[in-house]
Amino acid sequence: MAISRIDFRPTAQGGDNGTAALMKLDQNCADLDLRLSPVEAIVVAQGGRSLLLNGDLRVNQAAFAGGAMGANTYGYDMWRTVGAGATFALSSDRTTITLTGTIAQVLETPDIANATVTVSVWNPSAPITVKLQPDGSTATTATGTIPAGAGKQSVTLVVPSSLTSNVFMLLSTAGATSFDGPAKRRGVQLELGSFATNFERRHIAVELAAAQRYYEAGRQNADFYMIANQTATFTASFKVQKRAVAAINAAYSYTANSFNGIADNITVNGFRYGAAATASGLTAFALNWTADARL
């Protein structure tokens, strides 16, 4: 069934009146319901077209400077390399994202097996190969190429029935390839359906909270009197519950005294940190930490 387009010309010139326009809208909605799979219908109903997080690289908790990345490492939130290094950077004016090599985002059980999906960017300077696979090393199960060109460019893929768990979406280029970034309200988008819509720019608070399910950077400050060979403990609470128990990386500093510190009692909601003093005295203690539950 074809989409019925509303004619906005004056009715005297053959345009649709109010009744006719509403009938066409109703027909289009019914047609959309028939075209969407159950998973697609849920996404449309709840809002949020893009299945990717931080598709425009605005969230950067690790303060990644952009540029070279080693194998199997993260840079901007949610974006990682797989198997080999790559170069991935957002320009200083935030208008352009440039990729050399392969970058990936891991979708946590997106429930898109058998679905049709479309990956898009704006104004790519060279072709970009898109791959969907179950992990970073298993043979690709679906692949296609976004062509170079002006404006919105995309590729549509059918997700294999075997991709029932996490899905790695890989973007690969043969050389330095640029496309539009957040200053132009654009980025990488993966969405259900067979056509590309405009880039969905979520509020930065929403994007950050979504990314913090996987990785969070924080700081705890405390002033207290320490007794030699005794341990002071405090709890750091995460802003967002993690998808799994996170690996904690903590580094502390202090104005006086010296400590031996350890993180324990780690849960999806926070952790306890114990600092043991080597001498008695008043101190200002600062703990910088990261919680890593990334895939």
Q: What is the pLDDT of residues 106-129, one digit of tens each?
A: 999 999 999 999 999 999 999 999
Residue 42 lies in a domain: no
Residue 201 lies in a domain: yes
Q: Indicate whether 15 and 98 sit together in one domain.
A: no
Distance CA 215, CA 105 (A): 14
Q: Indicate whether 92 and 168 sit together in one domain.
A: yes
Name the β-bridge partners of 153.
121
Q: Indicate whether 27 and 66 sit together in one domain.
A: no
Residue 121 lies in a domain: yes
Residue 16 lies in a domain: yes
Name the β-bridge partners of 179.
97
Residue 43 lies in a domain: no
pLDDT band at 22 (very low <50, low <70, confident <90, very high): low
Q: Indicate whether 177 and 59 sit together in one domain.
A: yes
Q: Indicate whether 257 and 121 sit together in one domain.
A: no
Q: What is the pLDDT of residues 46-66, one digit of tens each?
A: 447 899 999 999 999 999 999
The reported pLDDT for the residue numbered 262 is: 77
SS3 98: strand
Strands 259-264 and 270-277 turn out to be antiparallel
SS3 256: coil
Distance CA 98, CA 156 (A): 22
Residue 41 lies in a domain: no
Burial 190-205 (b: 16+ CB within 10 A, else e): bbbbeebeebbbbeee
**Burial class of residue 134 (count of CB atoms within 10 Å of its CB; 0-12, 13-18, 19+):** middle
Q: What letter does residue 182 receive in the DSSP assignment? A: G
Distance CA 11, CA 14 (A): 5
Is pTM, for the whole model, over 0.85?
no
Neighbours of 99 (CB within 10 A): 24
**Containing structural domain, residue 254:** 216-292
Q: Indicate whether 89 and 187 sit together in one domain.
A: yes
If one counts the domains in the chain, the total is 3
